[in-house]
Structure 1
């Protein structure tokens, strides 16, 4: 089997723009049977300069097998373990190429839960791996972008190391998991609660107030998947 007794380790810079640009560290470990993507926040880029943040101020894990993925989701200060079947992607090879870390990569495009993605993968590395929920390309994904310039994930280091045994399940065994559909419903309920709260606050200010206050975009969390339109 490809990658037997070996493990692939990639570190990515993960740029995410929502309220303000933000840089995260994304680490991927894969042995072709399981993979683990871990995200920590490293730098928050605000209007008045860079602010160093504790890596533990934001922490997500995605544990992927050949059949399913379990992800750690935070909503209303509560953490949920969401387990779903491995998503199926309709990849389109464009014929374009790009060199990343001296690796010649092919370009492929797809759409996933409200966003359009451009991926660059290398088929010569003896693994099949991609960060987060992505899968299905015949190689290793070294970069992933959205066409709205909100997300950019780029490999900054890659290594293949000796490794025996499965990649450990990162969550506490026995903790309850919920389905993706259940999480979506919880997310929508949270969205409505936040919108109603914001509407009440704006109404209490009154139209005669000299304060200029637009309606803020309500986002219980920064997400790749667009669960609620406009999020």
Structure 2
């Protein structure tokens, strides 16, 4: 049973959200990907942070410590992973820049608002907030997203955006992907520098990246080392890089 002080806190939080015009909000998420149904499988366990206004945003990914046992890939040890990746969205230009290049060594430029959402009447509690459900298809998977209209910023974690409120939770219908907020901060008085950190860097389009990854995948598949070892890479992670 929820006590009165918790209910009062949630009510005051929602009231505060609805009464403020946001310069930006900061949301921390836990992001989990485990797909063992692909030929080679993929795994990610991350701490991610979204800092966003209505015009621009940053999304940061870093690995979280964990060791899990999977059915097809055996033990997955994330304890020594030290990567940090950045996604920068510019909604005026309808572009997202990312330095997670999977070996291309260029900044990849993709487009925003890639998902055609269908908003449903279903709702789900996320962090105590009543969020509305939307369904959409994004690069190989069907998703449900849960957004909060009280924060009127049309953005969310990773490349999920385009809804009339901030997205606090995303989950794929196949159970492989789950991204869920656990902390929200906002301050309309503090200014945040939303300058593009990748300006002037060597870039590639999303199509060019897909062509590169396809060639890399074929090279790995056809590689036969003398000692009989095998190598593999997945066809994608949260999003599929290679069309099936």
Using structure 2 for the length normalisation, give the TM-score.
0.77
* Residues 1:15 and 2:42 are matched in the alignment: no
* C-alpha distance in structure 2 between counterparts of 1:52 and 1:88, whole Å: 33
Q: Where does structure 1 lack aligned partners over 5 or more consecutive residues?
A: 206-212
* Residues 1:131 and 2:157 are matched in the alignment: yes
* C-alpha distance in structure 2 between counterparts of 1:82 and 1:93, whole Å: 30
Question: Which residue does 1:29 correspond to in 2?
Answer: 51
What is the CA deviation profile of residues 173-218 of structure 1, one whole-angstrom value per residue up to 9, with x for unaligned ones? 3111111110010000000110011xx24x864xxxxxxx8x7653
Identify, as 1 or 2, the structure richer in strand.
1
Question: Which residue does 1:74 correspond to in 2?
Answer: 101
Equivalenced residues, count: 213
Question: Which residue does 1:209 correspond to in 2?
Answer: none
* C-alpha distance in structure 2 between counterparts of 1:21 and 1:45, whole Å: 11
* C-alpha distance in structure 1 between counterparts of 2:54 and 2:43, whole Å: 33
* C-alpha distance in structure 1 between counterparts of 2:191 and 2:117, whole Å: 32
Contact 2:63 2:83 in 1 (8 A): yes
Contact 1:35 1:63 in 2 (8 A): yes
Contact 1:23 1:45 in 2 (8 A): no
Taking a change above 3 Å as real, the CA distance of residues 3 and 219 of structure 1, as seen in their structure-2 partners, is farther
Q: CA deviation at 1:94?
A: 2.0
Q: Where does structure 2 lack aligned partners over 5 or more consecutive residues?
A: 1-18, 36-40, 70-74
Pairing 1:33-112 to 2, within 5 Å after superposition: 33-47=55-69, 52-54=79-81, 57-66=82-91, 67-76=94-103, 78-112=104-138
Question: Which residue does 1:208 correspond to in 2?
Answer: none
Using structure 1 for the length normalisation, give the TM-score.
0.81
* C-alpha distance in structure 2 between counterparts of 1:5 and 1:108, whole Å: 23
Q: CA deviation at 1:93?
A: 1.4
* C-alpha distance in structure 2 between counterparts of 1:79 and 1:3, whole Å: 41
3-state SS of the aligned residue for 1:182? Answer: helix
